[in-house]
Amino acid sequence: MRKTECFLKKDAATPSSSGCLQGAAFRAMRIVKLLFFALTAPADLLVSAINNKYHLPLRERVAWNHRCLKRLQNIFSIRISLHQSSEQLGTLVNSPLLVCNHLGYLDPIVTGVLAPSVHVAKKEVAKWPLVGMFISMGGTLFIDRSQKRETRRLADSISACTRESVPVWVFLEGTTSDGQGVLPFHSSLLDPAVQNGWPVVPVAVLYSVPAGYESVHVPWWGDQSMLLHMWRLLALPYVEARVCIGTPEIDGTDRKTLAKRLHGRVCDLRKNLLPAQPYSV
């Protein structure tokens, strides 16, 4: 008889029945919470619209998005640990553009919880069932990377966010990775920062799971099925997201040079992500 795959222990050949049952309970509870979230989150936005006479300025949408991401952090049991003092969070709030390495669909939750903000995402994400609708309502900016003229349009959108004092997250790798390193950065999204002399804050994030659950890989990359990956992730007791925030970079002449510097900074920050003495948020 074929053994049932558990995904939750170091030794997949001898899965623990108690571990599997516990994982199934975590998963079932989180699925119920996700369904409740999907039903109630739009109502929260509707209340904001009514309070603003059916006009939702960007900051109201961003505030709603921030509340939603905090709820998702709780649902996925993501423990965010800052490897600096809490004062570093002020750097994010006061900077127009924020750059982070990209490991999967948990990244927007983690980074969005750190500060009320919006994200830049590829246009395909807008078509994802439910997900596309929610992030669109939250102010996410979409880009078609195959169209060069999109950079100019996106620059205008980022500038609009900046005028509202809303920081924008960009994942310059352009795709997700396995977490073993940081892929080269694309420079096109840095053009508005160079043209306007904006400071850009580098940020690094790494994930870890509880001891005994190492068979579950938090980064989602390559040709992995998102549904299967999430199915495994939902069974974890919790996920730890370790975050390191750097000092702002400013370069008013060359976006490619800025991209290289930011890549080096993110790589260095990533090396600092040790589990000792974090500050939890």
- Residue 180, domain extent: 17-274
> Which of the pair, 21 or 241, is modelled with greater confidence?
241
Q: What is the 3-state secondary structure (H, E, C) of 236-264?
A: CCCEEEEEEECCCECCCCCHHHHHHHHHH
pLDDT tens-place string over residues 194-210? 988 999 999 999 999 99
Look at residue 1 and tell me if it is in a domain.
no
**Residues 58-72: what's their mean pLDDT?**
95
Please tell me the pTM assigned to this model. 0.88
Let me know if residue 159 belongs to a domain: yes
* Structure-model confidence comparison of residues 60 and 149, the more confident one: 60
Q: Give a yes or no: residue 4 inside a domain.
A: no
Give me the mean pLDDT over the 132-151 stretch: 86
Residue 11 resides in a domain:
no
Give the residue-averaged pLDDT of 233-244: 96
- What pLDDT is attached to residue 19? 66
The pLDDT score that the predictor gives to residue 281 is: 52
Which residues are registered as beta bridge partners of 170?
A: 99
The total number of structural domains that make up the chain: 1
Q: What is the pLDDT of residue 114?
A: 95
CATH of the domain at 114: 3.40.1130
Confirm whether 3 is domain-assigned: no
In a domain, 10, yes or no: no
Residue 278 pLDDT greater than 70, yes or no: no
Is 2 contained in some domain?
Answer: no
Give the pLDDT confidence of 153-200 residue by residue, as tens digits: 888 899 899 999 999 999 999 999 988 899 999 998 998 899 889 999
Rounded mean pLDDT, 41-55: 80
Residue 198 maps to a domain: yes
Sheet containing 118-122: which strands, arranged edge to edge? 141-143, 118-122, 168-170, 97-100, 200-208, 239-245, 78-82, 279-280
For tokens 């850009």, the residue is: 200
DSSP per-residue letters across 119-133: EEEEGGGGGSTTHHH
pLDDT score recorded for residue 17: 61
Distance from C-alpha of 200 to C-alpha of 211, rounded to nearest angstrom: 35
DSSP class of residue 8 equals S
Query: What's the average model confidence in pLDDT over 69-77?
Result: 97
